[in-house]
Structure 1
Amino acid sequence: MSDSSAGQGYPSQDDGLTAYPDAPSQAVPQPPYGPVPGAAGSPPPYAPPPPCGPGAPYPVPGGAYPPVDVAPRVVPQSVQIAFYVMLVGAVVTLLSMAYSLTMLDQTRSDALDASGGVLRGNELDLLVYASVGGAIVSSLVTAGLWVWMAFVCRAGKNWGRITGSVFFGINALFYVVGTVMAFVTSTAGIALVFSTVTLGIGLAAVILLWNGMSSTFFAPRAPQGYQPYPGYPPTARY
């Protein structure tokens, strides 16, 4: 039997593989992606990353870090003088208390006159002892505040300077009221002298603590290991 497809006119196909152009014998040179680190004319390699973590300062342009203020501050002369002035205030307060103890008879006589002769005997003694005891407690507390404020201010605590100034204002108010009452009742004496000296000491301490030499000493300090980034917070509007 003859093949029926043999007589049909189908085009013959080449059994060989399709030929492609030959690849170039040499690869086209490609430019390098970048300079080789360390080669002549190349930029220096990357610098190591800055330290991070708690206590690390913020980086600043140029790679320099601002110094951290960790050294103890030098107490200026004005604050040192104010320290001794406040200690003198404590001593004067204690001397005033000691003087009041020597005036028990005068205190008894003043209490008897103030009551119009109504209080006598044990009642009068109770009033006198209560008055003297209150004065002793008040003097001890005041002397303790003088010493405490002296050491706090010498340590550079700005809140101590503010608190001491508030105490001075309260003392000045009581001084004015007490002076007026002393002259009205004709009881002005050595006690008024002690009050005046104490007020002058407080005024001197306040002036020394708030002058220009002391203001720098009481300025706030940056915490150890922390320095704010220069230019932050921004002052110009975006």
Structure 2
Amino acid sequence: MSSQGPARGRSTHPASSVRLPGTGRRAKSIDLAVNLMYAGAALEVLKVILTLVLAGTIKADIKESLGDSVAQDVLDDTLRAFNLQMLVGGLIAIALWLLMARLNAQGKSSARIIATVLFAISTISLLFRLLSVTPIVLITITVVSWIIGLAAVIYLWRPDSSAFFTRAANRRGQS
């Protein structure tokens, strides 16, 4: 590679380092799963932003669920705790979506397993979110995010993806 950039037709992006032999491409299922993971990260960004924008609505919903007799300071503390949980949880989710996309694109088979476990945890989290006091728009984004996660996991376990992970592991073993 010259100092003027990558050789023609070759990417320097780490996710492009493992390709199907003879084709110069990753398995299509991997590309789809990775793109879905990027979409999941983008949805999490939107959810964090909406949580901050909808603070007033969330406060009214919390007040309604706790009753009118709740003290203002308790209501404010509950809203701060909710916003903090959504912000921290959202940032962690964004980081995990991006990390899983990168590692799966590189053919790390352990990332496929971890992504599947994270999806199982996401399923449990979704059930709790459905039972919580949360604006419908945030619940909708959470459900869409879950569907994206489901599709990504399905693509990660397709036969062409399994072959891709096997070839990637063999290449790492050869180097």
Q: Which structure has the greater CA radius of gyration?
A: 1
Which of 85, 108, 111 is equivalent to 1:157?
A: 108
SS of alignment partner, residue 175 of structure 1 = helix
Which of 207, 211, 217 is equivalent to 2:158?
A: 211
What are the ranges of 5 or more consecutive residues in structure 1 without an aligned counterpart? Answer: 1-70, 226-238
* The structure with more helix, counted as a fraction of residues: 2
Q: Deviation string for 1:163-196 (max 9, x for gaps)? A: 00011111112223432x25xx7x6611221111
What are the ranges of 5 or more consecutive residues in structure 2 without an aligned counterpart? Answer: 1-16, 21-25
Q: Deviation string for 1:83-111 (max 9, x for gaps)? A: 11100000001101111112111221222
Which of 120, 123, 126 is equivalent to 2:77?
A: 126
Q: How does 1:155-234 map to 2 (within 5 A)?
A: 155-179=106-130, 181=131, 189-219=136-166, 220-221=169-170, 223-224=173-174
Match of 2:87 in 1: 136
Shift of 1:73: 3.4
* Counterpart contact for 1:111–1:128, Cα < 8 Å: yes
Task: Name the CA distance, whole Å, in 2 between partners of 1:137 and 1:176.
Answer: 19
Q: Which moved more, 1:104-113 or 1:137-146?
A: 104-113
State the percentage of identical aligned residues. Answer: 28
The structure, 1 or 2, with the larger RCO (C-alpha pairs under 8 Å, 6+ apart) is 2
- Name the TM-score, length of structure 1 as normaliser: 0.58
Q: What is the RMSD computed on CA atoms of the aligned residues?
A: 2.1
- Name the TM-score, length of structure 2 as normaliser: 0.77
What count of residue pairs does the alignment treat as equivalent?
Answer: 151
